[in-house]
């Protein structure tokens, strides 16, 4: 007789541990990515920067061309040593060229007279950026923050490619593994004795639970950024 064991405390602890990992990656990754993107977009949005066209070209080039999966894997694992580390789930997604251009376009809508008057009053570049530019750029910052947080929360690709230690794998990778295993058991012609003893496999229930776990961040974050979302995403769409 085959007995089916109920979920143990270890499985619950594993899910909680991976949820904590995903939460940490989402919060820290979003904060660092927003900092990198806002700082990178500022110099290429200013006409007075001498090499801004070259910098714009480098950012645009990464959107059009890439080396492929194998060179990316070699660079991350062998050169940057991003292996079995929590930073392997954060650093590869820090800079996004599309978000840099979106932020740059919003910066260019800010009147240049504000920056010029601040420079006349003796304000440094850092003071202008943190006291004038960032407060006026709340809509675009809220918009890219929402997109970036969802990208970090829903990501399982970096966990497969760069993480071998199961304790550091994100929650979405665990959910993907569970869903894939259930789909395999449901479609397999040779269902094993454990599946027979357990009865029908709750594939639809697992899919619904996965959806709830996936949309969790957007339910919590979107109400706070809703008033900025439309304004931020439409930046640069209308000229005049």
- pLDDT mean over 127-133: 90
Of 37-41, 104-108, 161-165, 222-226, which range is least confident?
222-226
Q: Is the pLDDT of residue 164 over 80?
A: yes
Residue pointed to by tokens 């645009």? 60
Note the pLDDT of residue 139: 86
Virtual torsion, Cα 89, 235, 231, 110, nearest 10 deg:
100
- pLDDT mean over 8-29: 72
Q: For residue 114, give every residue at least 6 positions away whose Cβ sits within 8 Å of its Cβ, in sequence order, or none.
A: 132
**Helix, strand and coil in the chain, % to nearest 5:** 75, 0, 25
What confidence tens digit (pLDDT) does each residue in 170-193 have? 888 877 877 777 777 666 555 555
Of the chain, the percentage scoring pLDDT greater than 70 comes to 72
pTM: 0.79
Angstrom CA distances, 112 to 98, 119, 144, 180, stand at 23, 11, 23, 53
With CA atoms as reference, report the closest residue to 85 among 138, 24, 42.
24
Note the pLDDT of residue 9: 41
Contact call for residues 145 and 225 (beta carbons, < 8 A): yes
Q: Is the pLDDT of residue 39 over 90?
A: yes
Quickly list DSSP for 160-201. Answer: HHH---GGG--HHHHHHHHHHHHHHHHH-SS--HHHHHH-S-
Residue pointed to by tokens 């789909």? 183
Note the pLDDT of residue 240: 40
Q: Is the pLDDT of residue 17 over 50?
A: yes
- Which helix (H) or strand (E) segment holds residue 204: the answer is helix 203-233
What confidence tens digit (pLDDT) does each residue in 89-98 have? 999 999 999 9
């Amino acid at each position: 007789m085959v007995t089916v064991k109920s979920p143990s405390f270890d499985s619950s602890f594993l899910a909680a541990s991976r949820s904590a990992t995903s939460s940490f990656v989402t919060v820290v990754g979003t904060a660092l990515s927003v900092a990198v993107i806002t700082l990178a977009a500022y110099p290429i949005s200013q006409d007075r920067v001498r090499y801004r066209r070259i910098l714009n070209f480098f950012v645009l080039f990464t959107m059009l061309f890439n080396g492929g999966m194998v060179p990316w894997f070699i660079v991350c694992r062998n050169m940057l040593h991003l292996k079995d580390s929590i930073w392997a789930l954060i650093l590869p997604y820090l800079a996004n060229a599309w978000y840099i251009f979106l932020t740059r376009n919003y910066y260019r809508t800010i009147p240049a007279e504000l920056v010029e008057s601040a420079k006349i009053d003796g304000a440094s570049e850092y003071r202008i950026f943190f006291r004038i530019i960032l407060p006026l750029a709340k809509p675009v910052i809220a918009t890219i923050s929402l997109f970036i947080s969802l990208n970090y929360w829903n990501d399982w690709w970096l966990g497969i490619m760069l993480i071998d230690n199961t304790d550091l794998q994100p929650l979405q990778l665990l959910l993907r593994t569970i869903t894939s295993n259930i789909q395999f058991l449901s479609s397999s012609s040779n269902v094993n004795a454990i599946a027979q003893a357990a009865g029908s496999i709750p594939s639809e229930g697992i899919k619904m639970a996965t959806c709830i776990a996936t949309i969790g961040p957007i339910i919590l974050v979107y109400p706070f950024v809703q008033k900025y979302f439309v304004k931020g995403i439409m930046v640069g769409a209308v000229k005049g």
